[in-house]
Amino acid sequence: MSNKEGEVTFKVTDRRLFNPDGTLRAEIVEREQVSAPAEAPKVEEPAPTPPSIETSPLFVELLVNLISSAEVNLGMMEHPALGKRVVDLSAAKQMIDWLGALREKTRGNLSREEEELFDGALTQLRMRFVQLANRQPREREAGA
């Protein structure tokens, strides 16, 4: 904007909703009172109960297969093709990371039994991985 003399002037409008003390500004309160229609009294409704989640045998089978694969790579079970226990920490880490990602994506969508299986197995696998990762390479092979 400019005035008659060629000077540039600015108009500053305070659009903040709150006063420095944290209360609503008077203009905002007035505007809300004018624009808000008369509301009917609110009736407290009970919170809806979440539907019970059924255990999925197919999902449990998937978990067991992924967990078994991680256990084989941690030397907790015999390798099916080799017939002996083998420790492959990089493959085990990848399986544990996949299981961790799957756990995060399924949080809140599993039955209690599935959650217990998942959380228990994941904790056990992570602990075993840390134990093996802290050992020397020769100890890992001998301990497997």
Rg (CA), the chain: 31
The third-level CATH classification (topology) of the domain covering 57-143 is: Methane Monooxygenase Hydroxylase; Chain G, domain 1 (1.20.58)
Positions in the chain short of pLDDT 70: 1-4, 35-43, 45-51, 136-144
- The predicted pLDDT at position 119 comes to 94
- For 47-79, the pLDDT digits (tens) are 665 567 888 899 999 999 999 999 999 999 888
CA neighbor of 75 nearest in space, from 119, 29, 39, 128: 128
Helix, strand, or coil (residue 24) = strand
- 10, 41, 42, 43, 107 from 38: Cα distances, Å: 39, 9, 12, 15, 41
d(CA 57, CA 60): 5
In 75-87, which positions are buried (b, 16+ CB within 10 angstroms) versus exposed (e)?
bbeeeeeeeeebb
The structural domains of the chain, with segments of one domain joined by +, span: 57-143
- The predicted pLDDT at position 50 comes to 57
- Write the burial class of residue 99 (CB in 10 Å: 0-12 exposed, 13-18 middle, 19+ buried): buried
Half-sphere exposure of 88 (CA within 13 A, CB side): 15
- The predicted pLDDT at position 42 comes to 64
- The predicted pLDDT at position 24 comes to 75
